[in-house]
Amino acid sequence: MHPGEFAHVMNRAATQMPSTMRAAVMDYAQTLEGDIKRRQGHPPAPRAPHGDYRRSWTHTPGQAGNIVSADIHTKAPQAKRLEFGFTGPDRLGRVYHQAPRPHVAPAIEATTKEWEKTWKGAIDSALG
């Protein structure tokens, strides 16, 4: 590839990259959110007798200039306690010895490989 051709490929990639990366980040966010939800009800993740906690998980896209992001989150008050466990009195004075039931960290770990594939695909697509 001669220098002029290389410059053309890189310019084309630069113009396509923001939309390609936005799609890649959203794909990863959906994959991670889905994996967190799928882990509910399967040990060691928490039981999901009603599905309220599972349904509380969502993702929100964000962008600041060329930086694309996604926030995968829940507003459920039990999320931190379920993930990390809890020992001691709660605000009502009840004493708990609740073991951690990790479901977010394992989902992140499992989807990292998927993200690497998506990222590589986004770059390959932008480069044509």
What's the whole-model pTM score? 0.72
pLDDT digits (tens, 9 = 90+) for 43-100: 877 777 778 999 999 999 888 877 788 999 999 988 998 899 999 998 899 999 989 9
**Cβ(18)–Cβ(69) below 8 Å:** no
Q: Which residue has 């890189």 as its token pair? A: 10
Neighbours of 18 (CB within 10 A): 15
pLDDT over 70 (residue 11): no
The rounded distance, in Å, linking the Cα atoms of 50 and 93 is 26
Average pLDDT over residues 24-29: 86
The rounded distance, in Å, linking the Cα atoms of 4 and 48 is 58
Query: Tokens for 123?
Result: 């770059």
61 phi/psi in degrees, rounded to 5: -75, 155
State the average pLDDT for the chain. 82
Sequence-separated contacts (24+) of 88-91 with Cβ below 8 Å:
none
Lowest-confidence segment of 27-31, 74-78, 101-105, 110-114 by average pLDDT = 110-114
